[in-house]
Amino acid sequence: MSENYASLNFDQMTGCDLVQFRIHYHLTQSQMASFLMISRRTYGRMEMSGDSLMTVLNADQRYVLKTYVGSQGLSLWLDYLGMSFKMRTPETLIKLFFDNRLDLFVKRDSGRYGYNVAYSFGGLSYITIYGKRDSPESFIDFSGSGIRLMEMLLIGQGLVWSHFINIALANGGKATRMDFQYTSISGYVLVTRLGFRYI
């Protein structure tokens, strides 16, 4: 295996190659597991696998490793996003951003932030779209886990966050809050949060 990790060939590399990758970047198994957001035990099993990294790692984990390599171990991650839309219903947002898959969302007649309807992705609070029964207003709320989930959906379409933001802005969206996480994995995971909020 090449000692140059400037690019990762997930088709040719196997789970066993993760050992050399980790040693090259002076990382422990615990550090790699934390960065990939899995248990150390699960990560240890990955290193023992002779299968292609395309099957050993999911799309989100491959993205994390590419980000790590491309930034020499330092990266800035979107960690929370809230966007309001004055003339768009929740159903319109689901059509725009989730291929009109209403079946992926669980609707509840309750809400927050002054909204009284909520659509939760998979019934969980990671990605929630709030709306009003008597007005075409909506608000999309991504928690940290929701951000990672949305990244996987975008990666599956060959897209990144800038595509999402551009579509949102073109449809009257306004970012009311964005949090960023600056991550370093030299020594251990160090997180500094930055954010802004419109009043």
CA-nearest of 58, 37, 22, 21 to 181 is: 37
Angle among Cα 74, 79, 80 to the nearest 5 degrees reads: 160
Integer-rounded Cα Rg, in Å, for the chain is 19
Whether this prediction's pTM lies above 0.85 is answered by no
What does the pLDDT look like over 9-28, one tens digit per residue?
888 888 888 888 888 777 78
How far is 157 from 18, CA to CA, in rounded Å?
Answer: 26
Report residue 186: phi and psi, to 5°. -85, 115
What does the pLDDT look like over 111-150, one tens digit per residue?
888 999 999 999 888 999 999 999 999 999 999 888 888 8
How far is 90 from 112, CA to CA, in rounded Å?
Answer: 14
Provide the CB-side half-sphere exposure for 27 (13 A, CA).
Answer: 27
Question: Which distant-in-sequence residues (6+ apart) come within 8 Å of 166 by Cβ?
Answer: none
What does the pLDDT look like over 139-183, one tens digit per residue?
999 998 888 888 878 877 777 788 899 899 999 999 998 887 766
